[in-house]
Amino acid sequence: MILDVRTPGEYAAERIVGAVLLDYRSPSFRRELANLARDATYLVYCRSGNRSAGAVEVMAQRGFTRIYELAGGILAWKRAGLPVEG
């Protein structure tokens, strides 16, 4: 699963194809994590890497075992010429 941890506005403007929004700054972020399978594989990204680093740390603390952070966020994704939608 691809997790976009940016704001709803950022997500609406553009996102990696197939990404699911889970706003890291939302008060419900930790509660919403409880609905995700801890043994699934996750690619986590934000704009440039700051929020995704925090999200990955929280996920690891909560028992998620296969978490990957997209280095450089969606900015790096686009620089590499990879597709976005929105």
pLDDT of 51:
97
pTM of the complete model: 0.95
In this prediction, residue 75 carries a pLDDT of 97
Contact between 10 and 47 (Cβ < 8 Å): yes
pLDDT tens for each residue of the chain, 86 residues long: 999 999 999 999 999 999 999 999 999 999 999 999 999 999 999 999 999 999 999 999 999 999 999 999 999 999 999 999 99
DSSP assignment of 33-59: HTTS-TTSEEEEE-SSSHHHHHHHHHH
Q: Which of 22, 18, 19 is nearest to 7 (CA)?
A: 22
Residue-level pLDDT at 52: 98
Pick the catalytic residue from 46, 56, 59, 74: 46
Q: Residue 40 — left, alpha, or beta (φ > 0 → left; ψ -120 to 50 → alpha)?
A: beta
| Architecture of the domain made up of 2-85 | 3-Layer(aba) Sandwich (3.40)
Domain boundaries, the chain: 2-85
46 catalytic per annotation: yes
pLDDT (0 to 100) of residue 42 = 98
